[in-house]
Amino acid sequence: MTLALRYAVRSDVGLLREGNEDSAYAGPHLLAVADGMGGHAAGEVASSATIATIADLDTDQPASELLAALANAVASANMRLQEMIMSDPATEGMGTTLTALLWSDGHAALCHIGDSRAYLLRDGQFYQITHDHTLVQSLVDEGRITEDDVATHPQRSLLLRALDGRTLADPDLSTHETMAGDRYLLCSDGLSGVVTEQTLHQALSTVRDPDKAALQLVELALKGGGPDNITCIVADVVDPQITALPPTQVPVMAGAASAGPPEQLRSAARQNSPAGRAGLLRRTAPQVALPDDADTADWEMPTGRHAAGAASANGYHATEDSSDEPKAARRGPFPGRARPDDDYGARTRHGRRRRVPIVTTVLIVFVVLVAGGLYGSWRYVQGQYYLGVDHGYMAIFRGVNTSVAGMSLHSPYQRSSVPVAQLPANAQIALNQTISSKGLNDAQTMVKSVETVVGQCRLQWQQLAAWKTADDKYQQDLTRYTQQVTAVNQHNAHLKAGQKPTPPPTAPTGPGPEPQVPQAGSCGPASAFGIATSDLPPGTSGAGSVTPGASPTTLPTATVSAPVSTGNRASSAATGTVTGQVTASHPANVPTTVRPAA
């Protein structure tokens, strides 16, 4: 059975935004939504550039290559953003989310990074098939807040992952099997953040036409206040052989991506910036030059036809003179000629004009020096990086950890994936007091080192918990084995001549040596990694201290002749008895705990 897509896309600027920073693409093989961020039109540049880069994927590809193709396209889009930032530093700080579905005849590869979302409606059931990369979602996952707290959390818009051209792209990649009748919804948070999932479910279930469904979803978001750009794609999986309406074949771009290449968007934004508007003010008609020693107060206004011509050239219209005073009385001397009775005043004005450039020059030099000093200080501050705590996570901060006149001189630059709670106590204290670095590369190196250590600590705690689970099972097996040995001994003790003894049972295999307990000075407590103390071996402190366990327990034994070694037991058919000392199979040099049978 051959499957295809019938889709529709809608994008709206919303009620509070000045421009649309969302971009979307819908084609026969590719559906994608990107929500730009960064302001000053950089957000729409980022989303448009990302959509334009991955749009080349809209071709029929083998199902086995879908995931790799998506991953490569996302990496290329991130690289393109990096190149744009390097060529135009004014775009630094821009970024975008991306949720994309690459389709090939019943198979779909899903790529997701950020807080845009993808939903699936199948057989009346509505599923969210992406996971938000936001701070509030991580807090919900950790159980620190509830779903009801998300809408009012002050950091609900803070992303933990995005395409920004500065960090490596780390999207979630997954594959999905599709069925005829499936309906997919891809949208920006301008829709999912305003309209509840229950309302989305109802709208998608009741409106059959994709275009009408997309339109209704946008209208619902606008009725909810429309605080952000709203973009959505509704796509139905159809079987062309049985559907009444044909699949959609024409690719569609929406939002910022439909306005042209990203470079043009950036150019338009510059023209609308304060600097661009200031440049337009210089494009005025040439003005009539005054003589060097003339004073504008000594000039008379042109009259008659010349006055009208001069006024029209400057954009004004001459009016009739309503004064009864003779024109000769208002006419001053010719330009450059001072009045005889005002010679002192003329010299005073001319002298003042000679002194003004000197004062102005001094002021300009002073302002330039102050501005240069402030700029140099600002550049120095922006070149400093240190480690600290940002919302419970280890993070790199840009600037210096202080404030001047109530203005903070630092800001979070890059948050790591390491919760501070997973660090040892001494490291938590140092991080809360901030740790200086020699620069960005040094700070990133320290973060990577800490991430590696925390990963090793997590693995050690998990290995201890897994060992404890295996040891619990071993103790149960050991109890059963003890009972079986006792039963065999009792049976074989009452055998008559010629009867064959019952063979001994197979001894259980121990869990092996107990893993090393993380050192308290190097690792955080087990509880920080979601492992309770009760999940650890007896005598092991969840804080990381090591307590030796008890010795192995000895099990009942019996005696046989002509023994044949079979691990921890021996057997013989000569006398019909069982012998051998059976102990827990832990190495003698590793402290273990073997509990007696219950």
Read off the pLDDT of residues 174-224 as tens digits, 9 standing for 90 and up.
999 999 999 999 999 999 999 999 999 999 999 999 999 999 999 999 999
Nearest-angstrom CA–CA distance, 588 and 592: 9
Across 425-442, average pLDDT: 85
Closest CA to 395 of 412, 371, 377: 412
Reported as a pLDDT band with limits 50, 70 and 90, residue 50 is: very high
- pLDDT class for 555, splitting at 50, 70, 90? very low
pLDDT of 141 > 90? The answer is yes
pLDDT category, 255, cuts 50, 70, 90? very high
Asked if residue 116 lies in contact with residue 51, where contact means CB atoms within 8 angstroms, the answer is: no
Task: Write down the H helix ranges in 494-566.
Answer: none
**Does 149 or 183 have the greater pLDDT score?**
183
Q: Please tell me the predicted confidence (pLDDT) of residue 582.
A: 37
Taking residues 44-62, report their average pLDDT.
95
**Tell me, what's the pLDDT at 502?**
87
Q: What is the mean pLDDT of the chain?
A: 77
* Band of pLDDT at residue 145, cut at 50, 70 and 90: very high
Task: Compute the average pLDDT of residues 408-415.
Answer: 86
Confidence of residue 18 (pLDDT cuts 50, 70, 90): confident
Residues 371-385 have pLDDT tens digits of 887 777 777 777 889
Over 50: is that where the pLDDT of 503 sits? yes
Q: Report the pLDDT averaged over residues 463-475.
A: 90
Share of the chain above pLDDT 70, in %: 74
Average pLDDT over residues 424-452: 87
pLDDT at 295 over 70: no
pLDDT range class, residue 536, cuts 50, 70, 90: confident
pLDDT at 284 over 90: no
pLDDT at 39: 59
Rounded Cα distance, 96 and 24, in Å: 12
pLDDT of residue 276: 42
Structure tokens at 373: 């000093």
Contact 55, 94 (CB under 8 A): no
**What domains sit in the chain, N to C, each tagged with a CATH number?**
4-269 (3.60.40.10), 363-437 (no CATH), 467-583 (no CATH)
Q: Is 90 exposed, middle or buried (0-12, 13-18, 19+ CB in 10 A)?
A: middle
pLDDT computed for residue 157 by the predictor: 82
The least confident of 16-20, 314-318, 441-445, 469-473 is: 314-318
pLDDT at 126: 97
pLDDT tier, 304 (very low <50, low <70, confident <90, very high otherwise): very low
- What is the pLDDT averaged over residues 495-518? 87
Angle value at C-alpha 470, between 464 and 474, nearest 5 degrees: 135
Position 553 pLDDT exceeds 50: no
Q: Which range has highest mean pLDDT (192-206, 334-348, 499-513)? A: 192-206
Q: What share of the chain in percent tops pLDDT 90?
A: 40
Mean pLDDT of 288-302: 41
Average pLDDT over residues 550-567: 33
Residues pairing with 385 in the sheet: 398
For the residues 538-565, what does the mean pLDDT come to?
46
Write down the pLDDT at residue 393. 93
Query: Which pLDDT band holds residue 595 (cuts at 50, 70, 90)?
Result: very low
What is the predicted pLDDT for the residue at 268?
A: 52
Res 215: pLDDT: 97
Determine what percent of the chain falls in helix, strand and coil, rounding each to the nearest 5: 40, 20, 40
Q: How far apart are CA 91 and CA 166, in angstroms?
A: 12
Q: How confident is the model at residue 310 (pLDDT cuts 50, 70, 90)?
A: very low
Q: What is the rounded distance in angstroms from the CA atom of residue 149 to the CA atom of residue 132? A: 15
What average pLDDT score do residues 107-120 get? 96
Q: What is the mean pLDDT of residues 27-53?
A: 90
Phi and psi torsions of 409, nearest 5°: -100, 20
Question: φ and ψ at 565, to 5 degrees?
Answer: -70, 125
pLDDT score recorded for residue 174: 96
Sheet of 564-565: strands edge to edge? 564-565, 570-571, 578-579
Confidence of residue 33 (pLDDT cuts 50, 70, 90): very high
Does residue 79 register a pLDDT over 90? yes
Helices and strands of the chain, counted as H and E runs: 14, 21
| C-alpha–C-alpha distance, residues 442 and 419, integer Å | 20
CA distance 579 to 97: 70
Q: Measure Cα distances from 489 to 177, 505, 560 in Å.
A: 58, 11, 11
